[in-house]
Amino acid sequence: MATHPMNKILLIAFTVLTHTSFAQTSVEPQPIERKGFVFGLGLGAGALSLENNKSNSTTLSLSVPNIKVGYMITKSFALLATFPGAIYSYKGNDRGFEAFTLSGQYWVTERYWVACGMGLTFDAPAFYTIKDPATAEFYTGFPALLVATGYEIYRKGKFVLDIQYRFFYGQSNLSDGSVRTGISNMLLLGVNWY
C-alpha cells in the first residue's frame, strides 16, 4: 500500500511542531528574586481633578517623578515611602499636587503587584518655578490616599520596567481657610531596582 506524499508532509510537520512545543515548555522560567532595598521612579500622565469652594477643574497632567523608596520585608511584600503627584497650572505657574505616603506593595503573582498607602498631601509650586521660598505658597493637608497596581514588562537582574496605574486622593488646607481636594488618575512607566 503506497503512502500519499501529502501524508508524509503532514507527519513531518506534526513531528516538528510537537518537538518544538515540548522544547518550549520544558524550560522552567526563573523565579524573580526580590530582596533588600527598593527604589523606583515613575513617569506618565493622566487626569487631575482639583476642587475647592471657588473652582473646579479637570486637566490632563504630567506625573513626575513618582518616587518610591523602601525595603523588601518578604519576597512578595515591600514597605515603601512613596511620593505620588501631578503637575497643574495655577495663575500661569506650574504647581505640584503631591503627597508623602507610607505604603505597602504586594506581588500577587511574579509580575503583577498592588499597593496602597496613606500620608500627607503637599500642594506647592513646582521646584523649578520657585524664585523666593519665603513668598511661595506651600500648603499641606491630611489625608493623602494612594492605591496603585502594576505589571512588570521587562526584567534584567535587579532592574525592572513596569506599567503602573496610580489613583491618588488628597486634601490641602489653603491660606484662606478653604480646602483644595484633588483626585489623580495616572498611567505611568516605572523604572525600578530591587
Confidence of residue 26 (pLDDT cuts 50, 70, 90): very low
pLDDT of residue 27: 47
pLDDT, average across residues 8-30: 54
pLDDT of residue 189: 97
Interatomic CA distance for residues 171 and 131, integer angstroms: 25
- Per-residue pLDDT reduced to its tens digit, 165-174: 999 999 999 9
Cell triple for 84: 505620588
Mean pLDDT (the chain) is 87
CATH number listed for the domain at residues 37-193? 2.40.160.20
- Per-residue pLDDT reduced to its tens digit, 43-54: 999 999 999 888
pLDDT of residue 11: 58
pTM of the model: 0.79
Phi, psi of 19 (to 5 degrees): -65, -40
Confidence of residue 25 (pLDDT cuts 50, 70, 90): very low
Confidence of residue 65 (pLDDT cuts 50, 70, 90): confident
- Per-residue pLDDT reduced to its tens digit, 97-148: 999 999 999 999 999 999 999 999 999 988 888 888 877 889 999 999 999 9
The fraction of the chain above a pLDDT of 90, given in percent, is: 63
pLDDT, average across residues 150-163: 95
Peptide bond into 65 cis (omega under 30): yes
**CA neighbours within 13 Å on the CB side: how many for 126?**
17
pLDDT of residue 137: 87
Confidence of residue 69 (pLDDT cuts 50, 70, 90): very high
Cell triple for 14: 506534526
